[in-house]
Chain A
Amino acid sequence: MGKKGLNRREFLKLTGATGSMLAAGSMSGMAFPRNVWAATPAIKGPIKIGYQAIASGTLAGYGQFHKYGVEMAVEEVNAAGGIAGQKVEMEFRDSTTKADVAIENARYFVDSWGADFLAGVDSSGQALALAPIIEKLDRVLIVTHAATEKLTEEGVFKNGIKQIFRICSPTYQDGNAGAFVAKDLPAMKWATISPKYEYGFTCWKMFQDTLGKLKPGVSFIAESFAPFGTTDFFSHIGTIMDAKPDGLYSTEWAGELITFVKQAKEAGLFDKVKHVMFPVGAAMDVLEGLGKEMPDNVWISGRYFFRYPDNKTNNEWVARFRKRWNHYPAYVSETGYSSIYAIKAAVEKAGSKETKAVISALEGMEMDSPAGHRVFRKEDHQAMYEVPWGKTVSDPKYPFKVMGEQKVIPAKEFFNRPPFEGAGTKPPF
């Protein structure tokens, strides 16, 4: 399905070939699933995808990396003939961090630009605010970063906003999977320094609940929540060090995690606390920003890590990405990239770009992507796939620390299960 690398010559050949083929009204001989198109009525092109991510302010780097992944996917898809033979057009907008901007962008995409699909969204708050609007706009939205489980448990499952799908791993990866990893660590007294907003509170609670069930006897002895924009973590670090935990869990992310790690190192936190977990520490901006300063033997994870899975699809994709952009892919690059392919697969499976048909096609759909094999769970539209937790280690191949020893927990063992309330819905099962 067009996953092979295309060098410049092949690319040009294909575009030329595709163009003439399309003009002749038939599909090119490139890998297309079976012969769906012969039988179905032609889908009116172009296929328009509206993508939004944070492209300004302190998190501007994320928007840039979203774009890298998405643009690359669109180029590849179009070079291979597009979606169901139709060209893909993508427009990118800065979502900023504000919900009203995200809503306006979504409305612009659908009502003014004529988007057939929407994707992106970094912030959980934005995603939740968007949900009722997406229902009204009646377009499929593939969320590529926002992690709140409320979006899928409440938005999709309880409230029936079927248009929303999430391709990235949610807070289950941070809280539940983290607890599964933590249970095998000797630490019995856990503390946290986490961001002072819903995401931070939710993950810590989830971690506590799950670990408490997995390992009776653990205690959670200290917590310190740092407001958005904290540049000085010393007092928070002091609180934790006074409590003398043997495990530290922190959902700090992006720039704040970089600041926190550097300052924690100075304060000697990593000498005193032997077991440290950063659920979103495997993000490329963090790893590259810290470089050698990331301590060893810290457990990190994310929504995707470029070295997992160690297979042809992923390794070749990473190589292509590096060639195209001269960077290692961030996890938002992968989720953005795969969201385009998810749309492609769904449209071609459904034989239509109508929202209802695409929703049916996406529910339960399985797809291969650089991050591995994904399945979109029917009940809450959450993609299930594995992301490893790994212990940081130096590797001479890279100017930053990578995952050494890895733990991969199957998604179905730690994702909350429908109906999400009552017994048997939260791990361990």
Chain B
Amino acid sequence: MQSIVHVCLAGLSAGMFIWLVASGLTLIFGVLGVLNFAHGSFYMLGAYFCFTVLRHLSANFWIGLLLGPLFVCAVGFIVERFFLRRVYHLALPYQLLLTFAFVLIFDNLVKIVWGAGSLSPPRLDIFGEAILIMGRKFPAYNLFIIAVGPLVAIGLWLMLERTWWGRIIRAASSDREMASALGVRVPILFTAVFVFGCWLGAIGGGLAAPYVGIMTPGMGDTIIIEAFIVAVIGGLGSLKGAFLGALIIGVLSAFGTRFFPTFDMFLIFILMAGVLLWRPQGLFGEAR
């Protein structure tokens, strides 16, 4: 029983880490219609900027988490305003490859600015020692993440459903032209949503860094695929889908690693393909 509980906990926290990254990716796809390969780079930049803030400005973890992503937002603004905006009307390959080009650029820039070696994010003592759950230790930090995930989800839901802002975003994402005709300044909206999505990705990176315990250039490359898979399985463009998808993938992977060791990315990709084939709007998305 103890193992099962701990596998679930491990799966939940892993899932929530992915959700934090996938949320931004999903929001950007849902509203702008662009699948942002470079989202992993914003995750990475989030981790690095938080680290820099902690190193040079303040050793307070929360301040780092507050300020670091702001720098990433600035980068995201530049990317959207001056580059991505020009390819919205173009065919899919151009959009995807533009974001792919940014992955190459950011991976190298990070190496040049912060160095090629791995960096150690500061140790997390804010939550104290690990907590004993059913006789085995589980890090308090991960419990925090398990709580943060749903909080972010609820926050996003509230914003989209209950605020004026959210209504505009929903309108623009379901019918860009109509929204524009109704007076919504769509380009500005897109920039705002993209920047917000980057912010989410950066927060994901800032939160993940102490858990992963190490930062390297290129650290976004694996997480982006996991985020893609989750977003697709949950339903591209559906935040609810991404959240539930992340939960499912997180827990499934944990169970798979624990009880079916040959379980690998292979089965996850089969799940991804299966969902795409039989329910392309994802397990929880609405038919588009």
Query: Is there a direct interface between A and B, measured as CB atoms under 8 Å apart in the complex?
Result: yes
Binding site for B on A (CB under 8 A): 55-61, 63-65, 196, 223-225, 227, 229, 231-232, 234-236, 238-239, 241-242, 254-255, 258-259, 261-263, 266-268, 271, 285, 288-291, 293
Residues in A neighbouring B258, C-beta threshold 8 A: 235, 238-239, 242
Contact A61 B136 (CB under 8 A): no
Contact B111 A60 (CB under 8 A): yes
Is B6 on the interface with A (CB-CB < 8 A)? yes
Contact B218 A58 (CB under 8 A): yes
Which stretch, B7-15, B72-80, B150-158, touches the partner chain A? B7-15
- Residue of B at shortest CB range from A288? B120
Residue in A57, A223, A271, A290 with the greatest tally of chain B CB atoms within 10 Å: A57
Binding site for A on B (CB under 8 A): 3, 6-7, 10-11, 13-14, 17, 107-108, 111, 115-118, 120, 123, 130, 136-139, 141-142, 208, 211-214, 216-219, 221-223, 253-255, 257-258, 261, 264-265
Known pairs A58-B216, A64-B117, A262-B213; list 19 more (Cβ under 8 Å): A56-B217, A57-B107, A57-B216, A57-B218, A60-B116, A60-B216, A61-B115, A64-B115, A64-B116, A224-B261, A225-B261, A231-B211, A234-B10, A234-B254, A235-B10, A235-B258, A267-B136, A289-B118, A293-B123
Residues in B neighbouring A196, C-beta threshold 8 A: 264
Residues in B neighbouring A227, C-beta threshold 8 A: 264-265
Residues in B neighbouring A63, C-beta threshold 8 A: 116
Contact B17 A232 (CB under 8 A): yes
Contact B213 A258 (CB under 8 A): yes
Q: Is the interface of B mostly helix, strand, loop or mixed?
A: helix
Residues in A neighbouring B111, C-beta threshold 8 A: 56, 60
**Which of B7, B117, B123, B214 is the one whose CB lies under 8 Å from A238?**
B7
Residue in A63, A64, A224, A267 with the greatest tally of chain B CB atoms within 10 Å: A267
7 contacts between A and B (CB under 8 A): A56-B107, A57-B216, A58-B221, A61-B116, A65-B117, A234-B142, A259-B213
Bound together, the chains give a CA A292 to CA B198 distance in angstroms of 34
**Which of B7, B108, B222 is the one whose CB lies under 8 Å from A229?**
B222
**Which of B120, B219, B222, B254 is the one whose CB lies under 8 Å from A235?**
B254
Nearest Cβ on chain A to B282's Cβ, whole angstroms: 23
Contact A235 B118 (CB under 8 A): no
Residue in B10, B130, B253, B255 with the greatest tally of chain A CB atoms within 10 Å: B10
Bound together, the chains give a CA A229 to CA B255 distance in angstroms of 19
- Residue of B at shortest CB range from A54? B116
Contact B118 A255 (CB under 8 A): yes
Given known pairs A241-B136, A258-B120, A291-B120, the reply for A58 and B217 (CB within 8 Å) is yes
Bound together, the chains give a CA A64 to CA B116 distance in angstroms of 7
Residues in A neighbouring B120, C-beta threshold 8 A: 258, 288-291
Residues in A neighbouring B219, C-beta threshold 8 A: 58
Residues in B neighbouring A229, C-beta threshold 8 A: 221-222
Nearest Cβ on chain A to B144's Cβ, whole angstroms: 12
Residues in A neighbouring B141, C-beta threshold 8 A: 266
**Which of A239, A254, A263 is the one whose CB lies under 8 Å from B213?**
A263
- Residue of B at shortest CB range from A284? B117
